[in-house]
Structure 1
Amino acid sequence: MDVDVFVTAHRAEWERLEALLKRRRARLTGAEADELVVLYQRAATHLSVLQSSAPDPALTARLTTLVARARSAVVGSRRSTWRDALAFFTSGFPAACYRTRHWWVPTALVFTGVVAALGWWIADNPQVQASIAAPEELREMTRPGGAYESYYSSSPAAAFSAQVWTNNAQVAGLSLALGALLGIPVLWVLLQNAVNVAVGVGLMAASDRLDVFLGLILPHGLLELTAVFVAAGVGLRLGWKVIDPGPRTRLTALAQEGRAAIGMAIGLAVVLLLSGAIEGFVTPSGLPTWARIAIGVVAELAFLAYVFIVGKRAAEAGETGDVAAADRQAEAPVAA
């Protein structure tokens, strides 16, 4: 598309729209208000065409500003309310988790398989264990009251919980943010986490203390890792949209999935806050191992029910996790 010809053909409409927006402080006539709406719709279509066919940064920025001003004039501004937050957590977030299940459930299964295989390999090979640390260090890590056990009581519960939550939120955020890079960084983040967990499994199993390790990691780890899996699955899905955007333009697909991913980052931060609280207060507590694990299992089952019952219903009702239709930028039709 020839941008200069496009600008020449539509400049008069944009200038008229700007003139009407400047006059908005004065009262517009009925005909002028109707004209404002029509010109806003045309400008939104022009912007969509430019973004998909001939992205010119300066022209796109000008039209984006113009369309935003016109949109505000036509539909008015709206402030987020507690009702929006309630709608997000009762429909938007669980629906987004449910819609991406075909990505994060396989991610969880593969991750678990990799951890099991690496853990078994480490536990069964003294040479591998020796490459991880010196024998004295290994004994210090795996002995009763050693590094693996004392880690969970190394700081006051509240401070430890906040530290864990911050770290896990960063991992989930990176998985979501880096997904657009074809998902490759997401795979690297997952591999690092799988290796870290597998080392603990392998070393504690080699010391015949795997039951102790599982009793420490399962109470919080079930929910924590599920949140990481969801973030990673969404990141991988976002990366796939770069390769195959479907019937949408690549830019539109990334915008829609990216907005949903940002919302999921907020929801997952809340989930990780809960898992961090469990890790800070339940894991190092004096409760019996079965009770601590039971708390973790209940939290995990509650989240899965939230996704596969509440989220499924919301998704079937048309919820996608994206912002409301009224808050989205208008798009030009795209041929399938």
Structure 2
Amino acid sequence: MPDQELLDAAEMGTLLEPIEVKYQVLRMLRAPRAEAFVANFTDGWLGLYKLGNLTPDPKKYEAYSVYDLEDSFREETQAFFRCLLMENRNVEEFLNAGYSFLDRNLAKHYGIAYADLGDEPRMVQFPEGSFRGGLLGQASILTVTANGVDTSPVVRGVWILENILGTPPSPPPPDVPALEPDIRGATSIRDQLSKHRDIATCNECHRKMDPLGFALENFDAVGAFREFYSDGEGKPSTPVDASGKLPSGEAFGDMRELKEILVDRREQFERCLTEKLLMYALGRELSFSDRPQVNTILDELERRDGGLQDLVEIVLTSDIFLGDP
């Protein structure tokens, strides 16, 4: 709720002035109650509210419950977002940051030395060539895009399209099952999805979703790194193939190379993030008529070579926000 200073500014009418809005935005971001924005926006944009909805299989992922990793997962992503916001770091770091915020248990889960870590998340720099770094290497994201038992390249691919690239796929045709009934002879998830793409009405979307999801297959259903799939007894079996080729023709060998492609498309990510922030700020979906305003915000962000705090400020001083009914 607004504090007294904000109510006074509203009463005087100064909240219609961009310079006053900028002052109030920066003031409120430094206040303790800004934590509500960090929690609520990451819940909505990244789907963190789903953590805990599907408890991972305790037999396969015992550490998840033993070390209460759900809280560690959420705290990592919130601390990462908070750092970009408060330090006004470039939004590109959502894609390729070489660091994150780990506590002792999460560092152990990631296979990282953790002797000097405790119960509270601290900034940790990842070694060169690490698969971690950025949102796509965070266990919170990798867990909410799984079902608690297995990974799904389709679900993870859809998540990237919706939340990183801003190009959600069309809903599946109502008369097509999730996977065709006859998958005899399919020996891997790649085989199953390859057969699924043989259905003409499914091919167009799956050629966009599946490669993105395959890039994350080096992470299991709770975000632990793996080089092999496990058999029914939990023993390593088939090697993970995290390679793929996008409809645009760009190929990658694993998630590290996919992240390089996404960084090259950072303008697309910036548009997606801007739209997510605007929807949060306005409390409504955007329409085609909002596109010029979105373009204006992005132009200003580029002019500043801005960070996340800049983007929040630009959104909240924009004509679309100040003039939206």
TM over 0.5: no
TM-score of the two chains, using structure 1 as the length reference: 0.26
TM-score of the two chains, using structure 2 as the length reference: 0.26
More helix by share: 1
Q: Higher RCO, 1 or 2 (CA under 8 Å, sep at least 6)?
A: 1
